[in-house]
């Protein structure tokens, strides 16, 4: 198939590369000339495992190219995917101005039948608006179809998630675009569920909010575990073995973050409000998440008392493992709170230090994770990078002024840490 993808962020770039990998011809379009130039020169705007090789291989094979021009993308393709940002507005509702602009650009460039597919996360009923806009701005008066095809990839696992999805959701207004969508996705060998457009749009917000709810649920359970002497990991294991519940997304933490969950939760609450429903359950999910961070900071201050002038080591800055993304990162939020209390921070992240510098200037960046604790009053784990499990704990304990470790991700075994001589405080254990 001939495909263009408008917007070369996480979703657009990974989708384009994976479509090319299975044999489609893909033009990835972005309005940022610097980003397009970087990609054309073989560079990567983001860190995502396996992506660089995938892009290079498909560019070399002539199946993937990059452009600044929506017109070029539209001319060279039969199916156009929209994958532009849908950021939050101050009141929590979604800024759809990028979608609207792209819809107008596509409309202006169309000279033959096209299928326009929305991949960005959008409020229910957006597809209708996109269709109206295209109809209004398409001077050539050609036929077109719209579809909704939400993306469920996780950062850090994006290529794997895209190549082996659990399901593919395709929302349509008429049967006409279904065959083309099935052809695009046939190589991925995943179940395809065809729905109306509104349902497809709702699936995305409903799924993300449910996953966030799952995390807040286990975080609330972690509070009960701490109060009662139970272990949240054992509780999660026992719950998760029930196939109706499942173990994934039951890892208690200092809270969820990232560019999706906080934004999508806020948006879904707003969308519900506009549809006349007060989604109190999701407001509580937000409240529990905020509490979780506050409780973690309290754990630190309860132990260390005054933070002013204390040296603290922080392992992890990304919002989760396997990514250099620090947007809405709980780790960064934690650092800001500790700095506000007057702490002096030494920090490390395997991939995110470059991006963190812009939002966290007043800390010392340390290249070796084993050196972060040097001269510190305590060490804090804020991101679940698997490499942190390989820390030289003996060395870390010796170079800490006091052997105190706060683990916001439950990476270590409580008994082992105590046997090593640490005062070890984790979440819900």
**Which active-site residues does the annotation give?**
260
Name the residues that contact ligand UDX, by CB under 6 A. Answer: 151-155, 208, 211, 215, 249-251, 253, 256-258, 260-261, 319-320, 384
Nearest to residue 209, comparing CAs of 150, 275, 263, 158?
263
* 298: exposed, middle or buried (Cβ count in 10 Å: 0-12, 13-18, 19+): exposed
Determine the Cα–Cα distance for residues 147 and 155; give it in Å rounded to an integer: 24
The distance from CA 372 to its chain's CA centroid, rounded to whole angstroms, is 27
Cβ of residue 35: shortest distance to ligand UDX, in angstroms?
Answer: 20
Determine the Cα–Cα distance for residues 187 and 164; give it in Å rounded to an integer: 10
Q: How far is CA 26 from CA 36, 160, 352, in A?
A: 14, 19, 29
Cβ of residue 44: shortest distance to ligand UDX, in angstroms?
Answer: 17
Determine the Cα–Cα distance for residues 397 and 394; give it in Å rounded to an integer: 5
Between 9 and 258, CB nearer to ligand UDX: 258
Between 155 and 374, CB nearer to ligand UDX: 155
Q: How far is CA 101 from CA 60, 105, 143, 335, in A?
A: 32, 6, 20, 37
Between 144 and 412, CB nearer to ligand UDX: 412
How far is the first Cα of the chain from the last one, in angstroms, to the nearest whole number? 52
Cβ of residue 10: shortest distance to ligand UDX, in angstroms?
Answer: 8
Between 73 and 257, CB nearer to ligand UDX: 257
Cβ of residue 96: shortest distance to ligand UDX, in angstroms?
Answer: 18
Between 30 and 48, CB nearer to ligand UDX: 48
Cβ of residue 151: shortest distance to ligand UDX, in angstroms?
Answer: 6
Nearest to residue 66, comparing CAs of 47, 44, 48?
44
């Amino acid at each position: 198939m001939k495909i263009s993808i408008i917007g070369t962020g996480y979703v657009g770039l990974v989708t384009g590369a994976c479509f090319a990998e299975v044999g489609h011809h893909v033009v990835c379009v972005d309005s940022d000339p610097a980003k397009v130039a970087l990609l054309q020169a073989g560079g990567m705007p983001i860190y995502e495992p396996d992506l660089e090789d995938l892009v290079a291989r498909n560019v070399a094979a002539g199946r993937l190219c990059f452009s600044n021009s929506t017109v070029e993308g539209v001319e060279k393709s039969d199916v156009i995917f929209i994958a532009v940002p849908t950021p939050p507005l101050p009141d929590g509702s979604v800024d759809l101005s990028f979608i609207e602009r792209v819809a107008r650009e596509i409309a202006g460039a169309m000279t033959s039948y096209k299928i326009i597919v929305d991949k960005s996360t959008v409020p229910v009923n957006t597809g209708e608006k996109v269709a109206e806009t295209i109809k209004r701005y398409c001077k050539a008066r050609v036929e077109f179809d719209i579809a909704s095809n939400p993306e469920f990839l996780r950062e850090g696992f994006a290529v794997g998630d895209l190549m082996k999805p659990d399901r593919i959701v395709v929302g349509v207004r008429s049967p006409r675009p279904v065959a083309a969508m099935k052809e695009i996705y046939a190589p991925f060998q995943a179940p395809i569920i065809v729905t109306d457009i509104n349902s497809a749009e709702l699936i995305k917000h409903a799924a993300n909010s449910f996953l966030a709810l799952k995390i807040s649920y286990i975080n609330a359970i972690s509070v009960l575990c701490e109060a009662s002497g139970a272990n949240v990991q054992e509780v999660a294991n026992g719950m998760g073995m029930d196939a109706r519940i499942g173990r994934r997304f039951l890892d208690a933490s200092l809270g969820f973050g990232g560019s999706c969950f906080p934004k999508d939760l806020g948006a879904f609450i707003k969308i519900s409000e506009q549809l006349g429903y007060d989604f109190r359950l999701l407001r509580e999910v937000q409240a529990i998440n905020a509490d979780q961070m506050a409780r973690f900071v309290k754990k630190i201050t309860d132990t260390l008392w005054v933070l002013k002038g204390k040296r603290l080591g922080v392992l992890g800055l990304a919002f989760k493992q396997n990514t250099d993304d620090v947007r809405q990162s709980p780790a960064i939020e934690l650092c800001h709170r500790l700095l506000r209390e007057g702490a002096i921070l030494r920090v490390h992240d395997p991939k995110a230090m470059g991006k963190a510098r812009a939002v966290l200037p007043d800390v010392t960046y340390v290249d070796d994770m084993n050196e972060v604790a040097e001269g510190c009053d305590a060490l804090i784990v804020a991101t679940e990078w698997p490499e942190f499990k390989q820390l030289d704990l003996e060395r870390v304990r010796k170079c800490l002024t006091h052997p105190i470790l706060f683990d916001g991700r439950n990476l270590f075994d409580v008994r082992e840490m105590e046997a090593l001589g640490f005062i070890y405080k984790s979440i819900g254990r």
